[in-house]
Amino acid sequence: MTDSVCFHCGLPIDPRHRYEIKIDGQPQAVCCPGCKAVAELIRDSGMSNYYAMREAPEPGTGRPADDAADWRAFDRDDMLEAFGAIDGDGAEASIYVGGMYCAACSWLIESTLTKQAGVESADVDPVTHRVRVRWRRAATGLGRILSTLTGLGYEPQPLAPQAGTRPEVAEQRKALKRLLVASLGMMQAMMFAVGLYAGDFEGMAPDMQLFLRLVSFVVTTPVVFYSARPFFAAAWRGLLRRRPGMDLPVAIAVGSAYVASTYSMLTGGEAVWFDSVTMFVFFLTLGRFLEMRARHRSIDKSAALSGVLPNTVTRIDDGADAVIPASRLVPGDRVRVRPGEAIPADGTLLAGRTSVDEALLTGESRPQPRSGGDALVAGSVNLDGIIEMRVDRTGPDTALGTIRRLAERARYARPDFVQLADRIAGWLVVVLLGIAAVVGAWWSVADPGHAFVVTLSVLVVTCPCALALATPAAFSAAATRLAELHLLVTNGNAIEVLARATRVVFDKTGTLTVGAPSIVATSVLDTTRSAADYEHIAAALEAASTHPIAAAFVGRDAGVRASGHRIAVGEGVAATVDGVRWRLGRHGFVAPEDPGDDDPSRIYLGTGGRLCAAFDLADSLRADAADAVRRLRELVPAVSLASGDGEAAVSRVAASLGIEDYRSRCTPAEKLEAIRAAQQAGDTVVMVGDGINDAPVLAGADASVALSDGALLAQTNADLIMLGSSLTPLVTAFGAARRTMRIVRQNLAWAIVYNVVAIPLAAAGYVPPWAAAIGMSASSLIVVMNALRLSRYGG
Amino acid sequence: MSILYILIPLGLLMLGAAVWAFFWAVGSGQFDDLDTPAMRIVMDDDEKPPPSSES
């Protein structure tokens, strides 16, 4: 150990503040009283081995935080309900331990905790950095355990117990097991089938044949009763509700082939079909598995759904900090958020400056600066400053909560189009069962020996699985792809509407434009200085202003500083630069004796009542607006613009984007009327707005898209939400919607052609059951994989 | 050929063991994430752990 770095945490030691501690008789240097305390604690509990066993620490690891959290509140029983489980006299909780970096850490934590009075067991999982603690409630409490961990220099986070496993995870686990049983069963059954077929040609001893059939039966049985169980269950439910689905023919085919094979095995009959049964079940299970994965992925992508909000927050109560469960936050609470922590609720920044990462909500990966009065969004991450915030909205009312709610809605509501496909498939099943019955009846008269095999083949080959999967598979693949592009589909119908849209109506402010003014032109009225000089001066004047217009000048001061700011509300601002008193604002404010025009989009800079420069301000277009509109016009026949702004501003935007059909000074009611008129003229209208001011208009359109960032999202209810500040994903959405409908049509066409060709062949007895199983399964897999092509749409 | 009467049941036993092992692996969560392991190979693994909150 050198003396220049801390023995405990590895940070360099400031020679002026050097502390020493004896470990195993050797003096060691540490950097601060905190490290000294931790090292002493470790030594005094007989854990000095820790220093010998550990790997070299990342400097700073294990150093106690200066503002160590107060965990006393966690000794109370009501906290245990939120963070652990009470079990008679004992209790149990999971704790995430930040700052744990090697095996020696887990040893230290386990040994220290189990030595503490009242702790029964502590199991550390070094991979997930979690420790599971059991203790006797009479002797100690969660708060004391957490304080012990803090005392060791770690940063513990109690974890809210998971209410069971997430349903998707449980579903995927079950499906995987079913798939594996089916695949292993299929491989084994086929292997024995090869032996049996060879025996048919070459001859084989009867007892060997019976033995091979018996082992085939043994491997097929779990496939039928375990892997195929969902098909039987669904078929039964369909029968009970008198709405037979595609599972009914599957269940009949699997069940009857299995029973007939078993019977044939017991009575020494001609053939068994165990190989066909397992293969059929395997391919069906595989198709279901792929479809399930596509569905789950769209859930995962539709906004990192869970685990982004902190479990505990530091609430500021009359100056004292208390750590409380995040679920107890109510609007109005004041909360302290440290760097690296997630913002627990939507709120307002009260004190401190920081930057936040809002990538989760807006797709914007650059850190966003935030200072006093700015809005903060739940789920974004505080990057570099300690801040105090006021909680405004919690839980389901936050923007994140809204996204989750809309994503849930999309997950559970089946789009009309899919429902229609379901109904058709239901009818088809009845028809196909009828066909199978007729074929069976005819063959049992004409050739009773083959009646069962042929009927089985017809049943298997006609199973309308492909038809039933055609639409939902394509829709969920499309939704997944769009979510990756930060477009959340909250209403499945929207995809279909987008595909056949004939008119797109844009709002202007905040949609085509960024919603904040910028300088479009600077005119120099007094040529003693250059336009750039005037801009610098104006920017220095506006530096102290919070007026929206000031945003246009941000970052243009080039180091010029002004002093003595005086703000005249609604008029302008005055300040001194290099001894000259400047005024910036309306014409009448800068040059009082010459009240000129009063155009709100023009502001003047002057000194001593003399005008020096004029700045034309306009809400600037989004960087990709022109490109996006141009590409959209290739996809959609008509693009129009409806805005509440004045004629001049709207016509300028329309002209620069090449939109001929525009309306200015529209009230929301007039916008809605315009949309209704277009709809009556036969147009399918998609409205794109910022989602809040346009809410009624959005609701009136056939499909609505809200372009919104962060906090404003909380109020929107649009069918499609675009996160972030770019318009390009909208074009992708239209393209993807068309592609989706094209794939749905391809899938439906394939399913119909396949059935039309396969049914007569099977009915004529040309298709053995195994070939029928391959044909039907291949057909379903083709449909699902065709749909999965959508997940790569748009690069 | 009577060796088959021993080998096939033996094979079935091993099959059963394999199924049991897989069920255990699924149950312990090893297959919960099927997407990121494929990506992990292209990630840098020399990233520093997040800084402790003493700043």
Question: Between A and B, how many CB-CB pairs are < 8 A?
Answer: 61
Strands A346-351 and A375-376: antiparallel
The two tokens of residue A703 are: 């499909």
pLDDT along chain A (795 residues), means of 10: 67 72 77 72 74 66 57 70 72 77 72 82 73 83 82 74 61 91 93 87 86 94 94 88 78 89 87 86 84 68 52 77 77 83 84 76 68 79 82 79 68 68 76 87 88 85 74 79 77 84 84 74 81 84 69 73 76 83 82 65 81 80 85 87 78 85 81 86 86 69 76 64 79 89 89 87 86 83 85 71
Which residues are registered as beta bridge partners of A369?
Answer: A355
SS3 A772: helix
Which long-range contacts does A451-455 make (Cβ < 8 Å, 24+ apart)?
A452/A256, A452/A260, A453/A271, A453/A765, A453/A768, A453/A769, A454/A762, A454/A763, A454/A765
Q: Does the beta-carbon distance from A340 to B53 stay under 8 Å? A: yes
Q: Does the beta-carbon distance from B19 to A101 stay under 8 Å? A: no
* Backbone angle region of A525, left / alpha / beta, with phi > 0 → left and psi within -120 to 50 → alpha: alpha
Q: What is the CA radius of gyration of chain A?
A: 35
Residue A89 falls in the annotated catalytic set:
no
Residues in chain A whose beta carbon is closer than 8 A to a beta carbon of chain B?
58, 60-61, 63, 65-66, 98-99, 101, 155, 169, 172-173, 176-177, 180-181, 184, 188, 205, 208, 211, 215, 218-219, 293, 297, 338-340, 384
Nearest-Cα distance to chain A for B54, in Å, is 5
Q: Does B23 touch chain A (CB under 8 A)?
A: yes
* pLDDT value for B52: 44
Cβ–Cβ under 8 Å, residues A701 and A675: yes
Is the ipTM higher than 0.85? The answer is no
E strand or H helix at A370 = strand A368-370
From the list A63, A176, A297, the residue facing B54 with the nearest CB is A63
The two tokens of residue A441 are: 């009846």
* pLDDT value for A548: 61
Closest to A118 measured CA to CA, from A148, A138, A95: A138
Q: What are the residues whose beta carbons fall under 8 Å from the beta carbon of A546, sequence distance 6 or more?
A: none
Which residue type is seen at A104? A
From the list B4, B18, B49, the residue facing A101 with the nearest CB is B49
Q: How far is CA A437 from CA A254, A431, A690, A713, in A?
A: 16, 10, 58, 56
Q: Which residue has the tokens 């240097």?
A: A29
Interface test with A, best of B12, B19, B53 (most A CBs within 10 A): B53
Nearest-Cα distance to chain B for A9, in Å, is 11
The two tokens of residue A481 are: 């792809």
DSSP character string of A489-547: E--THHHHHHHH--EEEE-IIIIIEEEEEEEEEEEESSTTS-HHHHHHHHHHHHTT--S
From the list A60, A173, A339, the residue facing B26 with the nearest CB is A173
Closest residue in A to B8 (Cα) is: A215
From CA A76, how far away is CA A755, in angstroms rounded?
67
Give A180's contacts in chain B (Cβ within 8 Å): 19, 22
Residue A4's φ and ψ, nearest 5 degrees, are: -85, -20
Task: Number of helices (H) and strands (E) in chain B: give both, helices first.
Answer: 2, 0
Strands A661-663 and A638-642: parallel
The two tokens of residue A795 are: 């690069």
Q: Does the beta-carbon distance from A188 to B15 stay under 8 Å? A: yes
Query: Which residue among A275, A392, A507, A709 is the active-site one?
Result: A507
* pLDDT value for A442: 92
From CA A294, how far away is CA A18, in angstroms rounded?
59
Q: Does the beta-carbon distance from B52 to A63 stay under 8 Å? A: yes
